[in-house]
Amino acid sequence: MSLSSLSLLLLAGASPLAVGQEVPTVTAPETSAPVPVPGEQDRTPEDVQRSSAASDIVVTARRRAEQVQDVPIPISVVGVKELDSTGSFNVQRLQQLQPTLQFYSSNPRNSSVNIRGLGAPLGLTNDGIDQGVGVYIDQVYFSRVAVATLDFLDVQQVETLRGPQGTLYGKNTVAGAISITSKAPSFNFEGRAEVTAGNLAFKQAKASISGPLAEDVAVRLGISTTSRRGTIFNTATDNYINEQDNIGLRGALLWRASDSLSLTLSGDYNRQDPECCAQIYVRYGPTQRAANRQYPALTAALGYTVPSTNPFDRLTDVDAELNALNVLGGVSLRGELSLGSGTLTSVTAWRFWDWGPKNDRDFTGLPITTLSQNPTRQDQFTQEFRYAGEGNGFDYVVGVFGFYQKIHTTGQQQQGSAASRWLLNPSSALSNDPSVLDGLTAENDIRLKNFSGAIFGKFNWDVTDSITLSPGIRVNYDDKVGSYVSIVRDAQGVLVPYSGGTPRQAAQREAIQPQAFVDEAYRAWNLTYDLTASYKPSRDVLLYATYAHTFKSGGLNLNGVPVVNGVVQTELAQIDPEKVDHFELGVKSQFWDRKATLNVTGYWTIIKDYQAIVNNSSTSTLRGYLANAGEVRVRGVEADFSIRPTERFTAYINGAYTDHEYVEFVNAPCPPERSGGTAAPVGSPGGTPGVPGQLSPVVCDISGQWLPGISNWAFSYGAEYNAPAKVFGLDGEFYLAGDASSRSKFSSNASRSIYTDIGGYTLANFRLGYRTDDFNIFGWVRNAFDEEYFELLATTPGNTGLVAGNPADPRTYGLTISKSF
* Per-residue model confidence (pLDDT) at position 19: 27
Report the C-alpha gap between 691 and 571 in whole angstroms: 35
64-83 confidence digits (pLDDT tens): 556 677 889 888 877 777 77
CB atoms within 10 A of CB 573: 24
Q: How confident is the model at residue 447 (pLDDT cuts 50, 70, 90)?
A: very high
pLDDT of residue 583: 98
Residue 753 has pLDDT above 80, yes or no: yes
Query: For 468-502, what is each residue's pLDDT tens digit?
Result: 999 999 999 999 999 999 999 999 999 999 888 99
**What's the pLDDT at 64?**
54
Q: Residue 135: is its pLDDT beyond 80?
A: yes
In this prediction, residue 736 carries a pLDDT of: 97
**Domains of the chain, with CATH numbers?**
8-182 (2.170.130.10), 190-820 (2.40.170.20)
Bigger pLDDT: 615 vs 648: 648
> Does 85 have pLDDT greater than 90?
no
How far is residue 336's CA from residue 350's CA, in Å, rounded to a whole number?
Answer: 19
Task: Please say if the pLDDT value at position 124 is more than 70.
Answer: no
pLDDT of residue 52: 33
Which pLDDT score is estimated for 65? 54
Predicted local distance difference test score (pLDDT) of residue 341: 93
Residue 421 has pLDDT above 90, yes or no: yes
Residues 6+ apart with CB under 8 A from 85: 23, 24, 737, 767, 778
Q: According to DSSP H, which parts of 263-412 are helical?
A: 295-301
pLDDT grade for 62, boundaries at 50, 70 and 90: low
**Single-letter amino acid, residue 283:** R
**Strands, DSSP E only, in 690-811?**
713-727, 730-743, 746-747, 757-758, 761-771, 775-782, 790-795, 802-807
Residue 66 pLDDT: 63
Least confident of 53-62, 370-379, 495-504: 53-62
Q: What is the mean pLDDT of residues 677-699?
A: 92
Band (88; pLDDT cuts 50, 70, 90):
confident
Tell me the pLDDT tens digit for each residue of 163-178. 998 888 788 888 998 8
Structure confidence by residue, pLDDT tens digits, 220-254: 999 999 999 999 999 999 999 999 999 999 999 99
Which stretches of 122-258 are assigned E, i.e. beta strand?
133-137, 140-142, 155-162, 176-182, 190-198, 202-214, 217-228, 232-234, 239-241, 244-255
Sort strands 441-462 and 394-415 into parallel, antiparallel or unpaired. Answer: antiparallel
Instruction: Please tell me the distance from the alpha carbon of residue 160 to that of residue 146, in angstroms, as a whole number.
Output: 17
Q: Give the pLDDT band of residue 147 (cuts 50, 70, 90).
A: low
Q: What is the DSSP letter of 165?
A: B
Confidence bin at 612 (pLDDT 50/70/90): confident
Q: Rounded mean pLDDT of 543-559?
A: 93
- The CA distance from 419 to 298, in Å, is 11
Q: Evaluate whether 439 touches 371 at the Cβ level (below 8 Å).
A: no
Report the pLDDT value the prediction gives residue 148, as an integer from 0 to 100: 66
Residue 16 has pLDDT above 80, yes or no: no
Per-residue pLDDT at 8 exceeds 50: no
The predicted model scores a pTM of 0.89
Mean pLDDT over 268-277 rounds to 94
Has residue 662 got a pLDDT over 90? yes
pLDDT range class, residue 126, cuts 50, 70, 90: confident
| pLDDT exceeds cutoff 60 at 795 | yes
Residue range 206-210: average pLDDT?
97
| Neighbour count for residue 785 (Cβ, 10 Å) | 12
